Amino acid sequence: MSYFLGLDPGYARLGYGVIAASGTALQYVTHGVIETSPEQKDGERLVTLDASLTELLSLYPIEGATIEQIFLKKNLTTGIKVSQARGVVLLGLARKKINCSEVSPTALKKMLTGSGTAGKKQMQEMIRRMLKLDSIPSPDDAADALALAIAAFLAGKRR
């Protein structure tokens, strides 16, 4: 069994999803969010992300990971903080020597649904179907991370 991790980077909430694969059969393992408190200083929030990610990585023998690319659209301050969180994630994966790919939101949508303009509900339904879940996963950050875990599996098949 091979394990794959998807990460939706965030400063306040970092979404994660873990799936397992045996051949081409995908199996849901876990998903959730790592949250930091706005009362924490910036560095403390990054330490929280690092410690929680390190703990998550110790639970599963992750073979590959995918992280969503970020785009700085409006709020540069928020974008910088998300970039810092993303750096913590990339460092944590590199420490464990986990191969990590990156994917844009549009490419992820196209990969899973066939359309780069798929809506959130369409993506969530596709994740539900692919992982044979009874309901749509939530919260959104974690659901996105499960989609990224599927992308990690697909990237691993291409290597």
The contacts of residue 46 (CB under 8 Å, 6+ apart) are 84, 85, 88
3-state secondary structure of 59: helix
The contacts of residue 54 (CB under 8 Å, 6+ apart) are 92, 95
Question: What token pair was written down for 98?
Answer: 């986990």
Question: What token pair was written down for 53?
Answer: 């990610």
How far from 22 is each of 49, 52, 79, 132, 149, CA to CA, in Å? 30, 27, 37, 15, 14
* Residues involved in catalysis: 8, 68, 141
